[in-house]
Chain A
Amino acid sequence: MTPLLLAQGLAIGLVNGALYILTALGLTLIYGILHIVNFAHGEIYMLGAMAVYVFFVVLQWPLGAALAAIVLLAALLGLAIERGVFRNLRGQWMQLLVASVGISLIIQSLSWIAFGAQEKNVPSVLPGVVALAGVRVPIERLAAAGVALVLVAALYWVVYRTRTGLAMRAIEEDEETARMLGVNADRVAAVAVALGFILAGLGGAFVAPIYSLNPGMGLEAILMSFIIIIIGGLGSITGTVLAGLAIGVLQSIGALALGAEAAHVLVFAAMIAVLILRPQGLLGRG
């Protein structure tokens, strides 16, 4: 592999990794607070992407308005699902997991019925390519990855610099003590789910102009997110960020060196290795 090819592969991997992170972060955030692995998370990503198509392409809203609507709708959906389903099944992890599979199937089948079988496309908002010393990166991907990293920083701020974040961390640390100290656990759970859904919705929205869209697209996203949060450590924000970038690079360099199919198996193998050797993940706490 030439140095140029390696550099190009690295660039592709880092940008893709940054795009994976948003969806995975929401998943890990929800797991940290509610101990739910939300299988419906990929559908929120899909709905975010489809919403860009509906608001921006079909209804021709300005991009900012479309994104604001997505944030609002994702938050509302998160609150509704937390209140209607998750809260009633507290402490029953198997039922919770299967319920999230059920929600995922419902959203997916309704979307197929509503959007039809034809793939949807969102025309590129920022066409063009940046070339630096022979390494080419499309502007839209670079921009999406940049915004994603800004959102990651914002999440850090929420979790480590606000009262709500403090309550979240308290609950994650020791739910019973936190409750005794007057933390409203239900409210924190609702906020966490809403935040997680917003991140997933935006994650989908940002890739809308990059890929083509269909109601099945959530599956790939959720798979990738699972792998990332298992490797990074369930509940760990920093772990998720690092694992996201690492998986992006492993995928692109692996595909360059061995082919796409082999890279796919490599990613799964990495996840199994982590599960067996260090089940709490690279940065998770046991």
Chain B
Amino acid sequence: MFRSFIAAALTAAASLAAAPALAQEAFKIGNLSPLSGPAAAFGIGINRGIELAAEDVGTFTVAGRQYKLELAPYDTSLDPGKTVAALNRAVLNDNVKYGFILGAAVHGAVLPIVRQTGFFDIFMGAAGREITNAENPTVFRFMASSDQLYYTFTPEIYRKLGIKRVAFLGPNNDLGRSDVRTLKDVAARLKGEGVEFVGEELVEINAKDFQAALLRLLARNPDAIDTNASPTGTVGLIAKQARELGYKGHFISSTAVLEAKALVSIAGAGADNIVAYRIWSNPPTKLYQEIAERHEKKYKEATLGTVWEAYAATRWVVEAVVKAGSFDTRRVAEQLAGSTFQFHPYGPASWGGTKSHGARRQIQTPLPASIIKGGKWEPLDVRMGTLE
């Protein structure tokens, strides 16, 4: 009995030791994102997007050797200090040269290291050219930027819905503040059409009670309240409390990924007339639908908002690595910037931003606008412009 146990253990150990020799080498993609704390849903969504992509990529060949994708997660809690620590560990200790880094707020701290080490930063976050630009050749933004969405979408939406008086309610963080600046600029450009920016309220990041801030805004009779920098739960609470105070107008979120079900569960009928730019009321592609189904089956949860973009980013970067025939991040960056991609769940993807950001580092994909009517997302028929 004992002897056979030893034998079994030895066999197992031997097979484990032999395994690396047989298997492919690992190509590690890091995920330096909040995996804990209030923003964890974004980071966990990226983990899953990478995992789903790894299933589809399988093994691939670079310079004659076989590789397999591997996820290397690092929890940053969206804290700049922790993100620096995570990046140090990834680059210096774990030999991770490619990775997602979530959040514009942490980039002030990580960009010097990214520039110094040539880390390939698959950037997920808002804000504009201060992050993707010619000085940071290995930083690519794989989701729509705030300025991109505001400048290309917002004017059309205002015209379509007849919005003239716009107010902003958001968190007092860098995202909220940069969105207010952009929104004011958009409103100023539309002055000829009678659009006016009527007021802003910046609140504590974790606030849940917006009644006082809303009262101040409602005193100025807005047609639309921009809630861009807030996540689903917060937008739902803002909508609920604004309706309770008698507000009848629209709410607009450009970059946030909102869930209709949660919004309706919080705000009830008050969720109607919430507008969001990145929500697909109907699946845009078969792949989109397929990923949602696979996600629900594998993780037993509604698909998190960042899954699709993380999936596409992972596959696209691997494709660029294979085409470049090298893991050198600068060569891969050049290869990637010149490429287009057919397997993005949102539709055909390419790179833009040469003029506005000074570098082709901003993803361009088809994007929808949707509005909640009767508790469900419905498509809002507007055409999005392109970012030069």
Contacts and interface: CB of A to CB of B under 8 A. Distances in A.
Do A and B touch (CB < 8 Å)? yes
A138 B244 contact: yes
A88 B41 CA distance: 39
B206 A220 contact: yes
Interface string B192-236: 000000000111101111111101100100000000000111101
Given A112-B36, A212-B233, A261 B44 contact: no
A254 B226 CA distance: 23
A252 B202 contact: no
A118 B210 CA distance: 21
A156 to B, nearest CB: 27
Contact of A212 (B172, B212, B236): B236
B115 to A, nearest CB: 31
Contacts of B215: 5, 8-9, 12, 256
Given A138-B244, A212-B236, A260-B212, A127 B268 contact: yes
B212 A117 contact: no
Contact of A255 (B37, B44, B213, B301): B213
A121 B44 contact: no
B33 to A, nearest CB: 11
B207 A211 contact: no
B212 A252 contact: yes
A256 B245 CA distance: 14
Nearest to B243: A129
Given A138-B244, A260-B204, A264-B204, A117 B44 contact: yes
A212 B36 CA distance: 18
A198 B374 CA distance: 39
Interface residues of B, number: 38
Given A8-B215, A252-B212, A136 B245 contact: yes
Nearest to A122: B265
A138 B219 CA distance: 19
Interface in A151-180: none
Interface string A191-227: 0000000000000000000011010110110000000
Contacts of A124: 268
B212 A121 contact: no
A259 interface: yes
A26 B170 CA distance: 33
A251 interface: yes
B219 A216 contact: no
Contacts of A263: 212
A9 B211 CA distance: 9
Nearest to B207: A260
A116 interface: yes
Interface string B27-40: 00000000011101
A246 to B, nearest CB: 16
Contacts of A12: 211-212, 215
B202 A220 contact: no
Interface string A234-258: 0000000000000000011011100
Query: A-B pairs with the 8 shortest C-beta distances?
Result: A255-B212, A119-B233, A117-B40, A212-B233, A117-B41, A121-B265, A260-B203, A211-B208
Given A118-B302, A212-B262, 20 more contacts: A5-B215, A8-B215, A8-B245, A116-B301, A119-B233, A119-B262, A121-B233, A121-B262, A123-B265, A123-B268, A127-B268, A136-B245, A212-B266, A214-B38, A216-B37, A251-B212, A252-B211, A256-B212, A259-B202, A260-B210
Interface of B: 36-38, 40-41, 44, 172, 201-204, 206-213, 215-216, 219, 231-234, 236-237, 244-246, 262, 265-266, 268, 301-302, 304
